[in-house]
Structure 1
Amino acid sequence: HILGPLDLTHAPSLVYPPSRAPLVATVHDLGVVKYPSTFPVHWRLFHRQGLRLILERARVILVDSESTRQDLRSLNGRRDPRVRVVPLGVEDPPQIAEESVHGVLAKHGLKPGYLLFVGTIEPRKNLSRLVQAYASLSWEDKMKTGELVLVGPRGWLGRWELSRVLSQDGVRWLGYLPREELEAVFRGAGIFVYPSLHEGFGLPVLEAMARGIPVITSRTSALRDIGEGAALTVDPEDVMEIRNALRRLASDGELRHRLAEWGRERAAQYPWKRTVELTLRGYMDAMG
């Protein structure tokens, strides 16, 4: 009643909107279906219901990756012509002065060349296995990798996750950082590591690649699509494989250089302009 008649409704998540207008819905991932134990019960129930309504009523369904399209196909048991892949994008990194980087690193007591993770602190991000892998490194290896620095807000069970991972020497949590500080912390990293159990896209990986930071990530879900050929990929449930990837990349400067270059090339393949164009095309198709 406030907005008046609508020509189109876009649900940007699994929250079904109460509207009779033609519906376009974005399904970012099916983590709540594939890894239900990493979400709270009420979240699972709410989003499963939202997914059911979207699959019943949406005219066009946008997904971030081919991986999510295949997950939907497996869930439905058939190919759905309403589903379109609309990859997200990454912006060119902003310019930042060297003295600004040094100032932010000094503020947080960071020495350049550390391992960096950026994301919400929650079970799906698989930080417990990452920290196990880091803790199993020798002292000599840790001198090469530097500290393991975690950046991001607490999510579901975040306090419990942090109580486990911060008990290990060399693991730091900076919490949520404003964009300017986050940029500086990105620039100080030697390796970016993101062994998430399941992602519909994996934007932090592309953001690290765009900045020329060599990446270790999972060879599962959409992370496989982004990472293969441009990052070291691992089985996120294999602690020893994560450990070996950390050791290998920290010890091989030539490999780090190659991955930095390949990562920049991969990130350049994901402009936001394409995201906008494909989304608008979905709107037009939904309105007939």
Structure 2
Amino acid sequence: MPTTLTMVVDQMVAPVPGGIGRYTEEMTKALILTAPRNCQVEGIVSSLPPEKIADVETRLPGLAELHKTTLARRELSAAWQLGLVAGYGDGMVHSPTLLAPLVRHNRAYDRKQTVVTIHDTLAWTHPKSLTPTSVSFTKSMAKRAKKHADAIVVPTHAVAEQLAEIIDFGDRVRVIPGAVGSGLQLTSDAEWRAGNLELPDEYILTFGTLDPRRGLLSLISGLGATDAPDLPVLVIGPDSWGDLTLASVADEAGLPEGRVRSLGFLSDADLAVVLDRATVFVYPSIREGFGLPLVEALSFGTPVVHSDDPALVEVAGGAGLVVERGGKKGYPERLAEAIAQVLDDSDLRSRLSVAGSDRARAFSWRDSAERVWQLHADL
């Protein structure tokens, strides 16, 4: 019989899959493609209608089998927090999140191993960036992981160091990064898409929400200075966060109406066009676990300006222009100065473009999947 690695793929069908849903799909596809001889990948998902089960199976070609639990997502989460796994913790189990059948076991005798993934430490450091339910779930399952997980995957050494200050996982932490999605490519209708999105000839591109942790408030504030660059600002993300809107924040910063515009959430084909044509990509986030949008921008050779958050510095690897956060005071001005530096120096833009394309090649789903297979083999 083949050796089976079972992936918990439920994040793919979460109400808001988000970046972790994309991570789950890409990692699972890569694990299928890189499966060693006599190994296969199966999946676990919560109770879903037949059409959603079929959709998951279609998106994961080569999946040996998809196991549907008897519980819906919310009930499954509650059960697994209590350690009620109903037989789903057998064999090699890998979860791209903390949603996992974590129970007491002995790898040598039970032939069980469970690996979970912790993408960031926001539940502890920036709980207001998450829902109370998400914070509670993360902390609860992290405690179970400390007791029962055989290994914990994190995307960066920065997260590993931050996590070590919160929970002592000993030597069980492994750093395995993500990568750019396989579908993020320019298509033959790129020109039409650019017109449909009403992209300016030149623009500053950024990503995120108005959650203070994302740094967009500082970016917009900095661009309101009289000597700041005056290019349009396009935001990949929603137009509002709580009571804040991009229009109100821009107005407060003294920016003219329409200068800052939300693009919402984009398809891969549209996102590729927006990234490819941006004059500069700015990632001002105060705290990240990995920063996939930064890698996506680098992959298109778009000059990148980013904060000195440890995870972003690690991921960019010197391919972007780093801006010191240094608290709130001075950060908006420093962001605007860095953007102006890139816009005013064609040689710098060229160097950042070449360095970015080169750095992005350091991340691949194949490499990450092979490291996951090796991790389970080592266990």
Name the TM tier (shorter chain).
0.7 to 0.9
Instruction: State how 1:99-248 maps to structure 2 within 5 Å.
Output: 100-119=189-208, 122-138=211-227, 141-142=229-230, 146-153=231-238, 157=241, 160-162=244-246, 164-167=248-251, 168-169=255-256, 170-236=259-325, 237=327, 238-248=331-341
| Alignment match, 1:73 | 164
Residues of 2 paired with 1:107 and 1:24: CA distance? Answer: 43
CA displacement at 1:261 relative to structure 2: 0.5
| Alignment match, 1:90 | 180
The answer to whether the 8 A contact 1:214-1:231 is kept is yes
The answer to whether the 8 A contact 1:64-1:200 is kept is yes
Question: More displaced, 173-182 or 10-19?
Answer: 10-19
The answer to whether the 8 A contact 2:176-2:368 is kept is yes
CA displacement at 1:110 relative to structure 2: 2.0
Give per-residue Cα distances to partners, 1:106-140, cap 9 Å, x unaligned: 2232212211113455443221111111222537x
Structure 2 gap segments, 5+ residues each? 1-66, 70-86, 105-111
SS at match of 2:285: coil
Give per-residue Cα distances to partners, 1:17-43, cap 9 Å, x unaligned: 466653201111112212233333333
2:338 maps to 1:251: no
Q: Which amino acid aligns with 1:109?
A: E
Residues of 2 paired with 1:272 and 1:154: CA distance? Answer: 31
CA-based RMSD of the aligned residues comes to: 2.6
Question: More displaced, 47-56 or 37-46?
Answer: 37-46
The answer to whether the 8 A contact 2:102-2:114 is kept is no
Question: More displaced, 235-244 or 198-207?
Answer: 235-244
Distance 1:137 1:210, change over 3 A: farther
Give per-residue Cα distances to partners, 1:200-222, cap 9 Å, x unaligned: 11111111111010000111131
CA displacement at 1:101 relative to structure 2: 3.0
Aligned length: 278
CA displacement at 1:273 relative to structure 2: 1.5
Residues of 1 paired with 2:133 and 2:247: CA distance? Answer: 24
Higher relative helix content: 1
- Which protein, 1 or 2, shows the higher relative CO under an 8 Å CA cutoff with sep ≥ 6? 1
Quick one: percent identity of the two aligned structures? Answer: 29
CA displacement at 1:2 relative to structure 2: 5.9
Structure 1 or 2, whichever has the larger Rg, is: 2
Residues of 2 paired with 1:153 and 1:134: CA distance? Answer: 19
Structure 1 gap segments, 5+ residues each? none
The answer to whether the 8 A contact 1:9-1:19 is kept is no
